[in-house]
Amino acid sequence: MKPKFLVGTIFFAMFIGVVACNSSSDNKDATPDNSAAKTDTSTSAASAGDEKTGVGKFQHVDLTHPLDKKMIAEGKNVYDLKCASCHKLTDEKLVGPGWKDVTKRRAPEWIMNFVTNTDEMLEKNAAAKNLYEVCLVKMPNQNLSDDDARAVLEFQRNNDGDK
């Protein structure tokens, strides 16, 4: 009886995550209005996180033109191993949001910072916080190396139709 209960519990938790994630607007993770005047100059962009680049060490990512086929293959391997259980390559949400057009919605630096600095991004970056509110599931830190993260970004660019 215990295995059936465990399987049922896991299925129910996944179902709730998918339903909750699908019930919210896809535009909820847009950048918030920052029209309030900033008078405190002691808070640096690096500590608070730039909304375009996010929080982390990646402030500029050099993209390849054309796409690097070796990196795409490496990124697909990382995706299959660490990402596919929660993210689809379409716009359909599973546990986390679908990856279709993610490179059109987010800067390469933001993506790299999010996958390598997940906890701090979820704590400090407004767009990352909004994704958490939409999906109700905190992305676990996958401990990706910088090279793995860059390969995943190249794979995402390929998935989004970049050449």
**Each residue of 6-21: pLDDT tens digit?**
444 444 444 444 334 4
Q: What local confidence, expressed as pLDDT, does residue 58 receive?
A: 96
- DSSP class of 87: B
Beta partners for residue 54, in sequence order: 50
Amino acid sitting at position 47: S
SS3 36: coil
Amino acid sitting at position 151: A
Q: What local confidence, expressed as pLDDT, does residue 21 receive?
A: 44
pTM, full prediction: 0.71
Tens digits of residue pLDDT in 100-156: 999 999 999 999 999 999 999 999 999 999 999 988 999 999 999 999 999 999 999
**Which CATH superfamily, name and number, covers 2-22+51-159?**
Cytochrome c-like domain (1.10.760.10)
Band of the pLDDT at 2, cuts 50, 70, 90?
low
Residue 40: count other Cβ atoms within 10 Å of its Cβ: 5
Give the start-to-end residue ranges of the domains of the chain: 2-22+51-159
Beta partners for residue 66, in sequence order: none
Return d(Cα 126, Cα 50) in angstroms, integer: 10
